[in-house]
Structures are given as structure tokens and as C-alpha cells.
Chains A and B, each alone.
Chain A
Amino acid sequence: MARSPATCRYDIRIIALSAAYGVLLIAASWLFKHHQVTGPLAWIVAILPALPIVGMFAAIGVYLMEETDEYVRMLMVRQTLWASGFALSIATVWGFLESFGLVGHVAPYCVVILWYAGLGLGGLANGLTTHRRGA
């Protein structure tokens, strides 16, 4: 299937944001490792690697607004619902396990990893639905 212009723009944004995330994470890690930042600057530097991740969520929102093919847009919405349901369900279960002292603490940003895993599951579910009836 030919990729829509909106999909191409989404891909470019995600690649750019991924590159920015890599650079900012390495830079922030280096600065903290070498004790180069303190005070308010430390807060800003610590937040910097999170911004491209936030940007990725925004990129999905922009994609949904730009995609003119309503069926493809619906598939993406369904995929993000899979992602949200998957990530929030595991985070909720883990939260209770952690509260009762049965598992260790996990950094909240790990939910993003779960969310993207859920996005993959959603893509798989979309693929199965599409092929089940002879697409």
C-alpha cells in the first residue's frame, strides 16, 4: 500500500524526535555524570530528554488531524486505544503489586515503553483484522 503524505510526514517527525531524544539523553547523562549542572538548570536538563517523547505523542495527534483517509485514520485511533489500554492496565497491576511490596519500584517513564509495545500490538490486531477478510 502506498503511504499517505500524512504518514510520510509522521515518519519524518518521529525520526527527528528519536534523534533529538538520543542526543538530549546522552548530553543530560554526561552533564549529570560529570556534575556540570546544579539548581534550576539541573531541573531543565533533566526534563530535556522527556520533551521529544512528549513530542512523539503530539506527532500522533498531528498525524490524526492530517490524515485524510478516514479508514486509515480509524485504524490509527484503534491502535492508540490498544496502546493506552495495554500500558495503563499493566501500570495499574504493577502499581498494586508494588503497593503491597511484592515487586520493586519501576520508573514511571517505563509506561512509555509499554505504550509503544501496545501500539505494536494494536498494529498486529489491525493487520489480523485486515487480512482475516481477504484484504
Chain B
Amino acid sequence: MNNRLKVLRAERGWSQGDLADRLGVSRQSVNAIETGRYDPSLPLAFKIAELFVLPIETIFVSPSAGEVQG
């Protein structure tokens, strides 16, 4: 699942480690989510959204968004 995590993190000048500390996960996890290799659970996705004070859908791109619109 594509997401804007890397951009949002860069805007705040945070390293992957900084973000991992704020989320209470490993840097490895942040990297896996940023590169789309791992889709976070709903609780973790909410935690990310709350950290950036943004709605989930502005951070994570729904894989079925195109299908719904088309």
C-alpha cells in the first residue's frame, strides 16, 4: 500500500529512528511501511495519523481507490 510517510517525516526533519521512537516501533518497521513492504495494522495506522495530526486517508493511499472511482 502506497503512503506519504517518507514525505511527512522529511517535512518534520525526522529520521526513521525518530519516527520509530515516537511510534514505539522499530526503525525496521518504519522502513518496511515507508517502502510499502508492510501494511500496518489499523491501530498502528491510527497512531501514525494521530502523530501527524492528519486523517488516515491522507497518509495511506487506498489500493482500491482507483477501482471505486473508475
| Bound form: Cα–Cα A2–B27 in Å | 9
Contact A71 B25 (CB under 8 A): yes
Select one of A68, A133, A134, A135 contacting B28, CB under 8 A. A135
Contact A1 B28 (CB under 8 A): yes
Q: Knowing A70-B40, A70-B41 touch, does A133 contact B26 (C-beta < 8 A)?
A: no
Interface residue tally of chain A, by bracket?
Answer: 10 to 19
Q: Is B35's beta carbon under 8 Å from chain A? A: yes
Total inter-chain residue pairs, C-beta < 8 Å: 39
Specify the chain A residue showing the minimal Cβ separation from B38: A71
Contact A135 B31 (CB under 8 A): yes
Write out the residue numbers on chain B whose beta carbons fall within 8 Å of the beta carbon of A1. 26-28
Contact A135 B44 (CB under 8 A): no
Residues of B within 8 A of A (CB): 24-29, 31-33, 35, 37-38, 40-41, 44
Residues of A within 8 A of B (CB): 1-2, 4, 68-72, 74, 129-130, 133-135
